[in-house]
Structure 1
Amino acid sequence: MLGELVAGAAEGLVLVEDTVDCEGRSLLQSFVAAAACRGECVHVFGFEVSEEEFRGCLDPRAAPQVQYHDSFHDPLGWSGVGLEALGAQESWFQGLRGTPGGAVTVVVDSLSWILLRQPSPAVCQALAGARVQRMLVLLHADLHPPGLLGVLRSLARVVVALASTSQGLGVGRGSLHLASVFQRMRAGKVVTKKEYYTLQPGFPPMSVEEPRGPMSPPRDDDTMAHPGTWLTFDPRAQLTFNPGVSVEQRQVRDAMPLPFHFSPCKKLSVLDQGGQIYYEPDPGDDLDDEDPDDDLDV
C-alpha cells in the first residue's frame, strides 16, 4: 500500500509523521522523486534543511521538475516567500502553477517548524484552503500535543505514521522501519494497514513487506546485512505445540461423535416407543365411574 501511495495513488493532504527514533525526510524525498519522475511540477518549501542538502539525494533527471522555495536561509520571509505567507494566507497555494496539463505537488518540510511559530488555526486554515492535487507535509509528531495532532489528521486524506522496529534495525536509508498507513477514500471508506519498508540509496522503488506476526525479528549478522530476510521467518517454529491440523487429523475430528448428538441406535436404546400416565388420586377425588361429575350437581 505504501508503494502505491508513492507511485501516485495519494491525493489531497498527505501527512508524514516521524519521531526522533525514525526520521521521515527520506520517505518524503521518495515521494518527491516519484512525483518528479511522473512529470509533475513539485514545489518544495524547505524550512529545516538547505536546498543543497535536500536536492543532494534526488535523481538529477528529476531535478528540473522540482522548484525549491528556500526558507531555510530566510526564515523571516523578507524575500516574500516564507513563514508569513504559509501561516496567514489561506489562498496562497492557489497561485502555484505547474507544467501545462500537468499536476502540481506541494511539499512542506516541515510543518512543525511553522506550527512552533504561527497560530495553529491559521496554519490549519491554510492547509484546508489549499487547492492542489497533492500536498506532502512532514510533521514531527513528538513535538506537538495529541489535540493538535488529531486536528491535523482530520484534515489529511492520507496519514503515514513512522516508527522504528522493535529491535532497532538501524537508521536512515537501507534500514527497516514500520509505517502505519491511514487512507480516507473519496467514497468515505477508510483503509488502514501496517507495513515494513526500506529505502535504497537513490530512492528507487521501495521494498515493502507486511508484518507477519507479533514476534520480533531475530538479531544476527545475516539479518542485519539484509533487513528484509527476517520477514520469511515463521513464528510458529518457536512454539512448544503444533497449532495446525493436518488433513488426517481433521477427518478423524469430523468423524468423532459429539456427546450431545444421539445416533439413531442410541435413541432407540434410550427412548421408549410409547408413553404412560401415572396418576395418584387425592383423598377428595370422586372415583365414581358412572357419574364422575356428580359432585358438581346442585
Structure 2
Amino acid sequence: MLLDIIQTSEGGGFIIIKDTVDCCGRQLLKGFINAALKREEAVHVLGFEVCEDEFRAGLDSRYTKGLCFHDGYTDPLGWTGCLPFTMHQFTALEINAHLNQSEPVKTVTLVIDSLSWMLQHYSPVVVCQRLQELRRGGALRSILVLLHSDLHQQGIVGSLCHLATAVILVSPGMSGQYTVAKTTRRTKSGKVTHEEECFNISEDLVVSIEAQSSSCNTVAESEDYEADPAANLTFNLRLSEVEREAKENLSLPFVFSQEKKSALLRPRPGAGRILYEPDANDDFDQEDPDDDLDV
C-alpha cells in the first residue's frame, strides 16, 4: 500500500506522515517528493524546520527544477520583512498566490514541513479550516505534510488525521535494519484499509518494501506475552478436573430435567380442579362488550 500511495498521484489527496522522536519521517517525505518530481509534477515546499540546502540534499538533481522551496526557516515570524514566506501567510489566498507565481503546470503538490510548526502558532481549528480551504481551492492536486505526533495531544492528532485520505505512521523496526510504516488509507467511497510494511530508503531516496511487518517484527511478537492477572492471587480462580466435572454434573434448582417436567405435567387422581358457574351478573353480550359499564 505504501508504494501504491507514493507512485500514484490521487487527485484531492491529503497525506499525513506521522513520526516521533524515535523515528524521523523526513526521509520518507523526501521519498514522496522525489517520486512526484520524477512524474514531472511541480512540488512547492513550505519549509520551516530545515534550510533549503538541507532539504534538497539527496533529491535527484535532474528533476529538482520542478521543486520550489518557500523559505520559512530563516525568518518564520517575518521580523526582517524581506523573506518570501512566513507563518502569517499560511492562508489559502496567500499560498495560492505563491503557487501562481511559478510556471503553470497540470499537477501541483504542496508539501508542509512541518505541520507541527503551524500548530505551535495557530489553533487546531484554524489549521484544519485552512487545510480544507486549500483542498477545495482547485489549484492543488495533493497535499503532503509531516506531523510530529508526540508533540501534540492525541485529540489534535486524531482531528487532523480524520481529514486525511492517507495516514502513515513510521516507527523503528526491531532489528534496526528496516523502518515500519503503519498505513491507513481512506477511499472516496468511504472504505478504510490498514496495512503494516517494512521499508528501506536508499541514498537516492527510493523507497522499497522489504517485508510485511509480521516478518520484520517476529522478535517483538515472540517477546510480547500476555500477563496473567490471576498469577499472584491468594486464592484460586481455576478449577481442577474433578471440580469441573462435578460442576458440569450439578443439577441447578431452577433447571427442570425432562423427567421432572413429565412428572409435573402428568395428570394425577384427586388433583384439584377449578369449577366456575356463571351467575346473572356474568351475562356477557358478544355484540356489546361494554354493556355493563355506566357510560
Residue identity matched to 2:123: P
Q: Distance in 2 between matches of 1:210 and 1:69?
A: 37
Asked if 2 retains the 8 angstrom alpha-carbon contact of 1:40 and 1:99, the reply is: no
Provide structure 2 residue ranges, at least 5 long, that are not aligned to the other structure.
223-267, 271-295
Q: Tell me how far 1:187 sits from its aligned partner.
A: 1.3
The residue matched to 2:55 in structure 1 has which SS?
helix
Structure 2 match to 1:149 = 157
Alpha-carbon spacing, 1:197–1:118, altered in 2? closer, same or farther (3 Å): same
User: Sequence identity, in percent?
Assistant: 35
Q: Distance in 2 between matches of 1:214 and 1:25?
A: 22
Deviations 1:147-193 (A, max 9, x none): 1011101111110011112x350xxxxx4111111111011111111
Provide structure 1 residue ranges, at least 5 long, that are not aligned to the other structure.
170-174, 219-234, 236-281, 285-298
The residue matched to 2:214 in structure 1 has which SS?
coil
Residue identity matched to 2:148: H
Structure 2 match to 1:164 = 172
Q: Distance in 2 between matches of 1:189 and 1:93?
A: 31
Q: 2:125 aligns with which of 121, 124, 127?
A: 121
The residue matched to 1:17 in structure 2 has which SS?
strand
Q: Distance in 1 between matches of 2:206 and 2:269?
A: 101
Deviates further, 93-102 or 140-149: 93-102
Deviations 1:217-266 (A, max 9, x none): 49xxxxxxxxxxxxxxxx9xxxxxxxxxxxxxxxxxxxxxxxxxxxxxxx
Matches within 5 A, 1:163-182: 163-165=171-173, 167=174, 169=176, 175-182=177-184
Deviations 1:4-38 (A, max 9, x none): 11112455210000001110000000000100110
Structure 2 match to 1:36 = 37
Matches within 5 A, 1:62-101: 62-77=63-78, 78=81, 79-86=83-90, 89-95=91-97, 96-97=99-100, 99-101=103-105
TM-score normalised over the length of structure 1: 0.67
Deviations 1:71-129 (A, max 9, x none): 1111113335210111xx24433332465452000000011011112222221111111
Asked if 1 retains the 8 angstrom alpha-carbon contact of 2:110 and 2:144, the reply is: yes
Alpha-carbon spacing, 1:283–1:191, altered in 2? closer, same or farther (3 Å): closer
CA RMSD, aligned part only?
Answer: 2.4
What is the count of residue pairs matched by the alignment?
A: 216
Asked if 1 retains the 8 angstrom alpha-carbon contact of 2:76 and 2:85, the reply is: no
Alpha-carbon spacing, 1:215–1:24, altered in 2? closer, same or farther (3 Å): closer
Q: Distance in 1 between matches of 2:269 and 2:30?
A: 100
Asked if 2 retains the 8 angstrom alpha-carbon contact of 1:2 and 1:181, the reply is: yes
Asked if 1 retains the 8 angstrom alpha-carbon contact of 2:168 and 2:182, the reply is: yes
Deviations 1:39-89 (A, max 9, x none): 000001110000000101111012101000011111113335210111xx2
Q: Tell me how far 1:195 sits from its aligned partner.
A: 0.7
Alpha-carbon spacing, 1:50–1:133, altered in 2? closer, same or farther (3 Å): same
Q: Tell me how far 1:207 sits from its aligned partner.
A: 3.0
Q: Distance in 1 between matches of 2:37 and 2:269?
A: 104
